[in-house]
Structure 1
Amino acid sequence: MNAPLHRESPPRMTFTAVLLTLSICLLWGGNPVAVQFAAKNLPPLLIASIRFLLATGFMYFWCRLGGHRISITRQQLPYVVGGGILLFVQIGLFHLGIARTSSSHATLLINTYVFWVMVLESYLLRAALLSRWKISGLILAAIGVVIIILSSLGQKEQLDQPTLRGDVLLAFSGLMLALKILLTKAAMPKIASSPFIFWHDLIGMSLLVIASLTFETWPGMEAFDMVSCVSLAYQGLCVAGFCFGMQAYLLQKYSATSISVFSFTSPIFGVMLGVAIRGDEFSVWFGLAALLVAGGIYLVNRPD
């Protein structure tokens, strides 16, 4: 009689890994706020192009400092091309959407990718198991996100006014981000994280430049004031460079689900920064939603 098969569980995240993941979430939470500052003077696809031009340069030096070979094999090519195309679609939708909504809406809707990662990794790829506790935590956190969105209905006129069109674009961007994360996870046994991110940044950036040249009118150099330049540096070096590189490194060690559940903190960071810096409308419902999200994170990560 054959012995029963046991699915090997991914390693539990260390305290250092959790802190690093939360730091990434904090930086990501501030990204929509940074984009809004640059969007005052620059068109959305041009912002995305410059952002990933900086990210590509960051990853090139990251690879050089880490001693990673940038060259790739023919077998690795489909992964980096697929990652670059998904990056182009996801980032393009993100920047087009955020130009039509508030940073608070953006940081909430982009993080719906967590739901897609869990569903696809658990039920389609069969790469992770969701216990009743984890499913309960996911539902609890989802309720928190819904409350935040509903509490924003009927907002007064504000600096960054939300629109349905912008929100829909951001929701689709969240789906594309989930697919890109799972592709990155699949690519990690085939290619090291640093050269993968470098090539996927380079391909995505090239496609964004082509799209921007085709559909947008580029402004003059006077549009690149100090605020816009700082915003672009934050987006390109901190978020698109450091965050994507660190996330790929973590995906080499832990499951996509284990990492993604912490991104529920990113909407909290993003809403706080949006309210404090961009003047987004705040409601007491945000406090209740934050508690629900925090409770969901605890249930998802508690031992089964």
Structure 2
Amino acid sequence: MTPQRHTHLDALAMTLMIGLCALWGLNQVAAKVANAGISPVLQAGLRSAGSTLLLMGWSRWQGIRLFESDGSGRAGLAAGLLFAAEFALIFWGLEYTTASRAVVFLYTAPFVVALGMHLLVPAERLTRNQTVGLLCAFGGIVLAFGDNLSLPDRRQLVGDLMLLVSAVMWGATTVLVRTTRLAAVSPNKTLLYQLGVSALALPVASLLLGEKGVIGEPSALIWVSLAWQIVAVAFASYLAWFWLISRYPATRLSAFSFLTPLFGMLFGAALLGERITWGLGGAMVLVAAGIWLVNRK
């Protein structure tokens, strides 16, 4: 059964998106903590594996069938491979470029979503205000994270390109989910494709990348950080995200994702003592203005 479509975001959708962005920003801190004991790509694979088990149990309790034939297999497999490759490229690219540069390149993903939806879904064609809003919000990200940006050397250029490709994959996954048979299946099944494929592919990618795997004897805090990612992020928040994009315009939702790195910066400062750049205040204003422009009627 195809879910009811909305042409604009209502209060529920906007509240959920702000909450999800805050949770994803906090996840950046949890991942950094867990990195001290579990290599990043392996960590992402373990997260997907644990969340897959949770999702299967939750779906069984809800009476949602995950394995019946409905014609979504090819699109689901493609979405899962894009999801796994995206994370592998992000973590691999961070070996070559800085975190600030990575954020700027990664958050070109909403433009991929907007362009894809503009070309493939007539009801979600970009307006001038939406284009200006996306550029405004992206300008906020550059302002917040771009204080150390400069022309890249050869090594940084490789990392920048990896992050740019991962952004394209992130955006392409959203468009794929919205424009194929996946749009008509339950959010549970859509998420299962991505978690299941990445649970198998990311540990293999970790080996190919030469990661150390589990480092020493991880502390309880590291395991708690991983558990948080499994339960709150990869299971609960991603399920909510797929529920949202099955019902609301993807471009309007994606504009909110610019809040995530700003929340990450705030949580990093509050919990890890990280430095806040001078441009954070202006960045928040630009991102908020951009979201308003994208979503105004």
TM-score (normalised: structure 1): 0.84
Aligned pair 1:26/2:22, yes or no? yes
Q: Counterparts in 2 of 1:197-208, with a 5 A limit?
A: 197-208=191-202
| CA distance 1:152–1:230, shift in 2 (3 Å) | farther
- Distance, in Å, in 2 between the alignment partners of 1:217 and 1:147 is 33
Q: Which segment drifts farther, 166-175 or 39-48?
A: 166-175
| CA distance 1:232–1:106, shift in 2 (3 Å) | farther
- Give the corresponding residue for 2:66: 70
Q: CA deviation at 1:202?
A: 0.7
Q: CA deviation at 1:52?
A: 0.6
What is the aligned counterpart of 1:185 among 178, 188, 193? 178
Alignment root-mean-square deviation, CA: 2.5
Aligned pair 1:231/2:234, yes or no? no
| CA distance 1:56–1:276, shift in 2 (3 Å) | same
Q: Which amino acid aligns with 2:169?
A: M
Q: Which amino acid aligns with 1:199?
A: Y
| Unpaired segments ≥5 residues, structure 1 | 1-8, 155-162
- Distance, in Å, in 1 between the alignment partners of 2:94 and 2:146 is 18
Aligned pair 1:271/2:269, yes or no? no
Equivalent residue pairs, number: 287
Q: CA deviation at 1:10?
A: 4.1
Q: CA deviation at 1:118?
A: 0.8
Secondary structure class of the residue paired with 1:188: helix
Q: Which amino acid aligns with 1:191?
A: V
Q: Counterparts in 2 of 1:76-91, with a 5 A limit?
A: 76-91=72-87
Aligned pair 1:42/2:38, yes or no? yes
Q: CA deviation at 1:127?
A: 4.9
Q: Which segment drifts farther, 294-303 or 10-19?
A: 10-19
Q: Is the 8 A contact 2:132 2:293 kept in 1?
A: yes
Q: Is the 8 A contact 1:56 1:202 kept in 2?
A: yes
Q: Is the 8 A contact 2:21 2:256 kept in 1?
A: yes
Q: Is the 8 A contact 1:36 1:99 kept in 2?
A: no
- Distance, in Å, in 2 between the alignment partners of 1:40 and 1:101 is 19
TM-score (normalised: structure 2): 0.86
C-alpha deviations, 1:62-82, integer Å up to 9, x for none? 212321101132622102211
Q: Which segment drifts farther, 216-225 or 180-189?
A: 216-225
- Distance, in Å, in 2 between the alignment partners of 1:103 and 1:277 is 18
- Distance, in Å, in 1 between the alignment partners of 2:215 and 2:267 is 28
| Unpaired segments ≥5 residues, structure 2 | 151-155
Q: Counterparts in 2 of 1:206-225, with a 5 A limit?
A: 206-216=200-210, 218-219=212-213, 222-225=216-219
- Distance, in Å, in 2 between the alignment partners of 1:100 and 1:233 is 28
Q: Is the 8 A contact 2:136 2:289 kept in 1?
A: yes
Aligned pair 1:173/2:166, yes or no? yes
Q: Which amino acid aligns with 1:261?
A: A
C-alpha deviations, 1:9-66, integer Å up to 9, x for none? 9432221121111111111112222211111222222111111112212211221232
Q: Is the 8 A contact 1:103 1:274 kept in 2?
A: no
- Distance, in Å, in 2 between the alignment partners of 1:217 and 1:103 is 19
Q: Which amino acid aligns with 2:194?
A: H
Secondary structure class of the residue paired with 1:78: helix
Q: CA deviation at 1:221?
A: 7.7
Secondary structure class of the residue paired with 1:223: coil
Secondary structure class of the residue paired with 1:141: helix
| CA distance 1:41–1:105, shift in 2 (3 Å) | farther
- Distance, in Å, in 2 between the alignment partners of 1:239 and 1:105 is 24
- Distance, in Å, in 2 between the alignment partners of 1:219 and 1:297 is 39
| CA distance 1:73–1:274, shift in 2 (3 Å) | same
- Distance, in Å, in 2 between the alignment partners of 1:167 and 1:274 is 23
- Distance, in Å, in 2 between the alignment partners of 1:204 and 1:224 is 23
